[in-house]
Amino acid sequence: MSKKILSLFAIGIFILSLGLVGCGKQEAKPAKVLKVGSEAAFAPFEFQDESTKEYVGFDIDLIKAIGKQMGAEVQIQNMGFDGLIPGLEANSIDLAISGMTITEERAKKVSFSKPYYKSGLTMVVKSDNTSIKSFKDLEGKNIAVQLGTTGADEAKKVKDAQIREFNSAPEAFLELKAGGVDAVVNDKPVNEYYIAKAGGKDAKMVGEPLTAEDYGIAASAKNKELIAQVDKAIEELKKNGEYEKIYVKWFGKKP
């Protein structure tokens, strides 16, 4: 009788150990990975920290918070802005966050989240420039823009203007500093950041914002379920105060 009890006890221990092993495997299961494309030369939204070489910025902090809310690991892939939508269409990335304005044309190709930031286009000129005070004054001038942006689209509408397109905003600002163009047309917060951090006394922002634009996070047009999850996560971040915390960190004021 004691042998039977011992045998049953041993079997029970064996079964229990299998169950524990199974639980251990479940606990070690890796989190879902979200591959996120971003053009990391658009401070203060996304850029590479010179000392740590890490990608930082408002968009980076936001998408990481969204990923955490969704229980997913976020992997940032630095890529050209004009390659973001093709990357979504080819499924090489899951999401794109890069100060991307929601437009009808883009919405035909991708699924956008609800707006997470309101922006607009402004001009930057050299500090000693007194001839350019409004967008009307750009007629016949040399204008630097970033390739694939709404700033480039609007600049091309200016009568007799010569448009110089660059791969990144810093390249456009360098061309202005070198005297190769009369003005840079880009998003207001990016222009403000450049003047504060790099432009100093060399540049100034002039004129009223040309447009009011909403930034959105993009996914493949076929992946509306993922965008619905992103929207839900953003809503929760706004409720729990995390969105405001990130906003204040990068812009110095409440949204």
Kindly tell me if the per-residue pLDDT of 30 is higher than 50: no
Kindly tell me if the per-residue pLDDT of 4 is higher than 60: no
Q: pLDDT tens, 225-251?
A: 999 999 999 999 999 999 999 999 999
d(CA 115, CA 217): 8
User: 20: buried, middle or exposed (CB in 10 Å: 19+, 13-18, 0-12)?
Assistant: exposed
The pLDDT assigned to 1 comes to 47
Contact 194, 124 (CB under 8 A): yes
pTM comes to 0.78
Q: pLDDT tens, 44-66?
A: 999 999 999 999 999 999 999 99
Kindly tell me if the per-residue pLDDT of 7 is higher than 50: no
The pLDDT assigned to 25 comes to 41
d(CA 45, CA 43): 5
| Full set of structural domains in the chain with CATH | 32-118+214-251 (3.40.190.10), 121-211 (3.40.190.10)
Mean pLDDT, the chain, integer: 88
**Alpha helices, DSSP H, located in the chain:** 2-27, 58-70, 84-89, 104-107, 150-155, 169-177, 188-194, 224-239, 242-251
